Structure 1
Amino acid sequence: MSAAPDLKLLRATLEKRFGDAIVPLPGQAPSRERAGFRTGVAALDALVPGGVPRRALTLWAGEATSGRTAALRVLVEAACRQTLVALVDATRTLDPASWCGEDGHSAPGLWVARPPSAEHAMEGAWVAETLLRTGAFGLVILDGPPPEPVEAHRLRSIARDTDAAVLVSTGGGGTSWRADVKLDFRRTGVQAGLRAGGRFRRPGAVQMAKGWGARTGERQVELVHEPAARLHTAHGPDRRAAARLLRFG
């Protein structure tokens, strides 16, 4: 008797017992569609009610101070309650304090990969692909230069195989590949300032488009975050999350 039927029976038993915790076989859809990852910010979630979708490639684009990174932070905080999250900090610019809770630590489900130097930023797509292939992460985020079209295609394909969500967050220009869901962040006329308690507010606007299709809506948002000095006495120019750290390059 071959081992193949036994392996199929074992997998069926595991899927029955553990359900969505079992990663689907490559090229095979999950038994039921799982929800994406919502941010908890009403204006953002109104644009994409299903959240950042699994088995798809999402693109967030926006200039500096447009609120994109603040939105990324709230997404990660929410997603870490559901799954392991991998964040590729390709440009080494993530502020450690902004990603920490009141105890000075990041969410336990957050892993961060960053290169030894900014010269390796273009390797970020390869690192995101490698982390995605492990099947360990429900959400993989690439923060930095957008991947090349062939890299974007591979990321989408592996996301489908592993039932994971892939998000590219970039401040760069347009891409030559089509995202399944795209959000454009931009600054509004109102200047960011301090609120009571020393919290920064980041007003902005977010516009959503399906692929390269027509715009389907815009929302005004105001994202609030703690200034870095309140969480760490010493901080530099980088935006790095204080989390489990993987180095690449």
Structure 2
Amino acid sequence: MSAAPDLKLLRAALEKRFGDAIVPIPGQAPSRERAGFRTGVAALDALVPGGVPRRAITLWAGEATSGRTAALRVLVQAACRETLVAVVDATRTLDPAAWCGPDGSSAPGLWVARPPSAAHTDEGAWVAETLLRTGAFGLVVLDGPAPEPVEAHRLRALARETDAAVLVSTDGGGTSWRADVKLDFRRTGVHPGLRVGGRFRRPSAVQMAKGWGARTGERQVELVHEPADRLHAAHGPDRRAGARA
């Protein structure tokens, strides 16, 4: 008698008892769909009620100061409470201080990978792929240049195999590959800070389209930005922001 049916029954019993603690077998779909990752920012979550989806590739696009990085930070903070998160800082422009706690230690559940120099920026997709292959991360973020179509295809396939969510955050324009969900961030006006070293709010407009389909909605999102003086400006361009509803 084959042991295969007994193993299937055993796995089903374990999934029933322990739920999401049971890791899907690579190459197979999980027994039930798991929810995506929400930001906790009401206006953003209203655009994508299911959150950044697992088993898919999501694209966030927007120029500098459009609020994209602020939204990324609150998403990562929220996701770290549920799973291990990896952020690939391909352009080396995310200030490490903004992703650490008050004591300087990294946030629990967060890994940040950076290339050794600007000459390796284009290797971000390869790093994200390598992290996905471990099966350890529920969310992998690639911040930097958009991957090539072949790279995007591999990232999507690995997301499906490992039941993970892949988010590409880029300031580039359109891509030649289709994202499962896309958010476009843009500024709605110029709003100077309150004072040196202070926090200030800047409204942004976020528009959502599934794949390359018709636009399905737009929301005004108010983001809270940290000026360069507040954290260590020497690390690079100021992309250290938080967000709230």
Question: TM (normalized to structure 2)?
Answer: 0.89
1:79-158 to structure 2, matched below 5 A, reads 79-158=79-158
**Amino acid in the other structure paired with 1:106:** S
The answer to whether 1:218 aligns with 2:222 is: no
- Which residue of 1 is the match for residue 55 of structure 2? 55
SS at match of 1:194: coil
Report sequence identity in percent.
Answer: 88
- Which residue of 1 is the match for residue 243 of structure 2? none
- Which residue of 1 is the match for residue 67 of structure 2? 67
- Which residue of 2 is the match for residue 186 of structure 1? 186
- Which residue of 1 is the match for residue 29 of structure 2? 29
- Which residue of 2 is the match for residue 246 of structure 1? none
Unaligned 5+ segments in structure 1 are 242-249
Task: Tell me: CA distance 1:14–1:236, structure 2 relative to 1, closer, same or farther (3 Å).
Answer: same
Deviation, structure 1 residue 101: 3.6
**Amino acid in the other structure paired with 1:222:** E
Question: TM (normalized to structure 1)?
Answer: 0.87
SS at match of 1:201: strand
Q: Which region of structure 1 is more displaced relative to structure 2, 153-162 or 222-231?
A: 222-231
Q: Which region of structure 1 is more displaced relative to structure 2, 132-141 or 194-203?
A: 194-203
Task: Tell me: CA distance 1:192–1:20, structure 2 relative to 1, closer, same or farther (3 Å).
Answer: farther
1:225, 1:76 → 2: CA distance? Answer: 16
Deviation, structure 1 residue 215: 0.6
Deviation, structure 1 residue 202: 2.9
RMSD over equivalenced CA pairs, Å: 2.4
1:177, 1:89 → 2: CA distance? Answer: 21
Task: Tell me: CA distance 1:192–1:35, structure 2 relative to 1, closer, same or farther (3 Å).
Answer: farther
Deviation, structure 1 residue 105: 3.5
1:37-48 to structure 2, matched below 5 A, reads 37-48=37-48
2:238, 2:135 → 1: CA distance? Answer: 26
Contact 1:98-1:227 at 8 Å conserved across structures = no
Contact 1:85-1:109 at 8 Å conserved across structures = yes
Deviation, structure 1 residue 10: 5.4
Deviation, structure 1 residue 201: 2.0
The answer to whether 1:236 aligns with 2:197 is: no
Contact 2:93-2:239 at 8 Å conserved across structures = yes
Task: Tell me: CA distance 1:203–1:102, structure 2 relative to 1, closer, same or farther (3 Å).
Answer: farther
Q: Which region of structure 1 is more displaced relative to structure 2, 51-60 or 187-196?
A: 187-196
